[in-house]
Amino acid sequence: MWDERKDQNRWKMKFILPEHNEALRQLRLAKQKIDRPVLSEEQFAEFEFVISSAMSENLPLFFELYDDGFIREVTGRVVYVDHLRKVFRVKDNRGYTNFVRFSDILNVKNAPSG
C-alpha cells in the first residue's frame, strides 16, 4: 500500500549545504527589496531647508536612505557638504563619518538631541 507521507519525507532535505543555505538567504532578501521611490521637487526643497537649518544650528538629523533596495537609517550632524561629488558627510554619536549621497535621501527630519 502506498503511503503519501513516506513519499513526501523521502524528498525532504535531511541536511542543507552552506551554499544552499546562502542561496536561500539571498532569495529571501531579494523578495524583501523595494523599488527606488520617486520624490517630488517640493520634497527636495523641504530636505534642503531642513538640512541647511540644522547645519546652521549644529543640530542632529535623521536620514532615511535608499540602499540597494532597502531603507537604511542614519542619525547625526552634517559636518560637510561636497557639492562636486553630491555627498554629505554625517558624523554620528559614535564619531563615525557616514557618506550620504544626495540621490539616496528618501526623508530627512530633525532628530531628537539627547
Give the pairing type, strands 70-82 and 105-110: unpaired
Domain spans in the chain, listed from the N-terminal domain onward: 41-110
Q: Does domain 41-110 have CATH number 3.40.1410.10?
A: no
Distance of CA 5 to the CA centre of its chain: 43
pLDDT per position as a tens digit, 40-92: 999 989 999 999 999 999 999 999 999 888 889 999 999 999 989 999 999 99
Average pLDDT estimate for 10-36: 74
Could you give phi then psi for residue 93, rounded to 5 degrees?
-65, -30
